[in-house]
Structure 1
């Protein structure tokens, strides 16, 4: 009888002890997933921006991303003549991928990219270190990435994918 009580206790309480929630609450709350994502992203200066080319193939490139705002909107700069600008004009769907340096985690934001050519916005985000990349400042253009949802894996936070499906914890934004 004692074994049955222990087993019942273990099966009922262990998910709460290990994961911090009960099965009915789902793997992680939306707020917790967003909180961990923000913590990871703010420590990472670079992201991989993935857009779709004219034939629908993903195109990935490393971007120096600004810190996200409270809604996880991320701004980046680019040259208006770059291929990614045409790709975004053709299909705004995009993904931003942040990799934790030790390989024990990542954040993936999925959403839409918007090209911004507003002079006030460009002045706000300008970095003096870009002078050599934009000797002709008219080539400087902003990308505003607006996420719709995100996925996070962080071994440091014990936030890992589902054991059976490997589905990463997800938050809708």
Structure 2
């Protein structure tokens, strides 16, 4: 596994992978120390390595973030393309109406029926501190053949790149 500091090229690749997958499982820690995950739609990954989400101010995850030193994990998976991303970062709630306007999309209305002006609507921004991704560039058929060959040879298959980056 390659470990590096996040540069512009790697950030761009990470942004592309996250934006293609779009749905993350966001993990926080509840008051009893349990890990709690829920699906969240990533709205944007900006040039600074920040992932943006809409959430409700009254959501339990907001309290969980505040109680866990703002640490979260985001997991993205696209099984069909064998692309997986794990992000550790620092989350912050933000009430920024200009940013809400910028990121608003028609799908958000399902969760926020009052639209962009919903008083419970806030932003969560997660600054990427560390990310790890696995990406197989081979087709599904090639990956299946590699896995079958590894059973015969006893050597693990080479299933693509695995990179850990720090921001």
2:115 paired with 1:113: no
Q: Secondary structure at the match of 1:124?
A: helix
Q: How does 1:43-82 map to 2 (within 5 A)?
A: 43-82=20-59
Residue 131 of structure 1: SS of its match in structure 2?
helix
Q: Is the 8 A contact 1:40 1:100 kept in 2?
A: no
The answer for the alignment partner of 2:2 in structure 1 is 27
Contact 2:2 2:164 in 1 (8 A): no
What do residues 35-74 of structure 1 show as CA deviations (whole Å, max 9, x unaligned)?
A: 4323311211211111111122111111111131122211
Please give the secondary structure, in 1, of the residue aligned with 2:80.
coil
Aligned length: 140
User: Structure 1 pair 130/27, CA: closer, same or farther in 2 (3 Å)?
Assistant: closer
TM-score when normalising by structure 2:
0.74
Distance in 2 of aligned mates of 1:94 and 1:112: 6
SS of 1:102's equivalent in the other structure is helix
> 1:127: how far off?
2.1
How far is the alpha carbon of 1:108 from its aligned partner? 0.8
Task: Show the counterpart of 1:98.
Answer: 76
Instruction: Name the SS for the 2:49 alignment partner.
Output: coil
Match of 1:171 in 2: 165
C-alpha separation in 2, matches of 1:140 and 1:83 = 14
Unaligned regions of 5+ residues in structure 1, if any? 1-25, 161-168
CA RMSD of the aligned region, Å?
Answer: 2.2
How far apart are residue 115 of structure 1 and its match?
Answer: 0.2
What CA distance in whole angstroms lies between the structure 2 residues aligned with 1:44 and 1:104? 11
Compare relative contact order (CA 8 Å, sep 6+) and give the higher one, 1 or 2.
Answer: 2
Distance 1:126 1:55, change over 3 A: same
Moved over 6 A (4+): none
> What TM-score do the two structures reach when normalised by structure 1?
0.71
Contact 1:33 1:170 in 2 (8 A): no
